[in-house]
Structure 1
């Protein structure tokens, strides 16, 4: 009978709670590993399994081989922090171009986040695009890749992908509408709406800083969906049924993505089923291009050589959105005068 042992290793590449879920799920899918529990606060993973008296370094190499395709690595020693500040030389100009484009769209009314109390559908779509380029969408991308590979072996590449995206868009509209309708039941006061918007802005600010991958301590401050709910949502992808892709698409509404959760919180303030549904579905549509690219080409930003530039650019843009949201909240309640005149 083989002996089970427990070891703790350091993890490189973790950015958010979606990473935690992805790492745990991938490692627990290995036959001889009975338990895996990663920790975003310490950037470690505790693994229990039957490793045939292998040395810690050998186990770390084995775990790295499992996680490498998702952009993570495992080591016995704490790795040196490499912030790759040179990536900002490219990321900052790209973010500035995006900001300029955002201002133009603001002027023609396609997006709205500066001088009113509402977030337009165009803005929700834009946030979705940014979210799809972030690490918190890695878990959704992982689901899509896994599902794509499974059904491709059976000779069906298109229908499962279509079912996934239809399920995702429908669930975001319906469940977003439900959240919006719940907001009308509670009838949030101006003060409550202000505090909720400030909370959303702070969450987005933390997410943006995390994407910059400069201040690692902020990764400990992220909003997190209960693990049991996220894990159950992830397990749906393991079901072997024709409708599995559709169910997986629905389950993505509950996966741990700070962007999704921020939009869900905002949707609560709409107090309207249709507005809430359209806001969340606009966000989901924003994520569609990259997720579709992943579906049909196995594309992965996280494994790209330019991943650092991608994430730092997205981080700068998210920080911009967060600051605009915070400023807007203060303007709406009358604490400050409009800073930007659009």
Structure 2
């Protein structure tokens, strides 16, 4: 897959998944930025989100390495991974545009890990240091989330650990405006991100990229089959 296009798509997924991000992380972001001093509130939010994005990058590195290993086992696995990535992009586009919410059902996959991590988040939330906020963000980055899992399936299809880490970090940066807006009560930005026309345009872009991904994977296979 073309790297600039991949990174741009990751940014769009994070940016226009704003409503889902606010539901999943908006409450904790608001609690993290709960301070009467504006500069302290911003520093706490940046520390929390820095930890969260760091977790995404680690997950991207691990999943990218796993995808590379699977692709080296057999070429057919690469076809399956990239087909899955294309389908997940289509599902993300449907979710972002608010045409279907099937994507959220994938969140059940991470419940077992989250049951272990969740008690630790409560302890860190009671601490006000920036280090604790960063640690809280790193734990919160593993919260079960359909958008994250879908993006990770796409990262696995790339089969590149470093690109995987960069892609997931870019996805995390895309989610940053919504969560900062939620934490700082920036209503104008939140309204723009959640405007129906904006979301539908972003959804169509993601669906188009997903269709292109699936087509680019299987057309060469069909051509070889016909030629033989």
Choose the corresponding residue for 2:217, options 309, 325, 329. Answer: 329
Q: Deviations for 1:37-57, whole angstroms, at most 9, x for unmatched residues? A: xxxxxxxxxxxxxxxxxxxxx
The structure carrying a bigger helix percent of its residues is 2
TM-score (norm 2): 0.74
The structure-2 alpha-carbon separation of the partners of 1:220 and 1:306, relative to structure 1 and needing over 3 Å to count, comes to closer
Choose the corresponding residue for 2:171, options 283, 287, 294. Answer: 283
Q: Tell me if structure 1 keeps the 8 A contact 2:48–2:136.
A: yes
The structure-2 alpha-carbon separation of the partners of 1:121 and 1:278, relative to structure 1 and needing over 3 Å to count, comes to farther
Distance (whole Å) between structure 2 residues aligned to residue 235 and residue 315 of structure 1: 35
State the partner residue of 1:193. Answer: 78
Name which one, 1 or 2, has greater alpha-carbon Rg. Answer: 1
List alignment gaps of at least 5 residues for structure 1: 1-117, 338-342
State the partner residue of 2:63. Answer: 179
Q: Tell me if structure 2 keeps the 8 A contact 1:176–1:276.
A: yes
State the partner residue of 1:240. Answer: 126
Q: Tell me if structure 1 keeps the 8 A contact 2:94–2:207.
A: yes
Q: Tell me if structure 1 keeps the 8 A contact 2:121–2:140.
A: no
Q: Deviations for 1:207-254, whole angstroms, at most 9, x for unmatched residues? A: 322344445xx6388422332434555555433122332123223432
**How many residues are aligned here?**
215
List alignment gaps of at least 5 residues for structure 2: none
Distance (whole Å) between structure 2 residues aligned to residue 305 and residue 220 of structure 1: 19
The structure-2 alpha-carbon separation of the partners of 1:142 and 1:231, relative to structure 1 and needing over 3 Å to count, comes to farther
**Larger RCO (CA within 8 A; separation ≥ 6):** 2
TM-score (norm 1): 0.52
1:157 aligned onto 2:157: no
The structure-2 alpha-carbon separation of the partners of 1:300 and 1:207, relative to structure 1 and needing over 3 Å to count, comes to farther
The structure-2 alpha-carbon separation of the partners of 1:210 and 1:159, relative to structure 1 and needing over 3 Å to count, comes to closer
Q: Tell me if structure 2 keeps the 8 A contact 1:124–1:286.
A: no
Superposition pairs for residues 1-342 of structure 1, below 5 Å?
A: 118-134=1-17, 135-138=19-22, 139-149=24-34, 152-153=35-36, 156-186=40-70, 187-214=72-99, 219=102, 222-224=105-107, 225-230=109-114, 236-238=120-122, 239-241=125-127, 242=129, 243-299=131-187, 307-331=195-219, 333-335=220-222
Q: Tell me if structure 2 keeps the 8 A contact 1:170–1:281.
A: yes
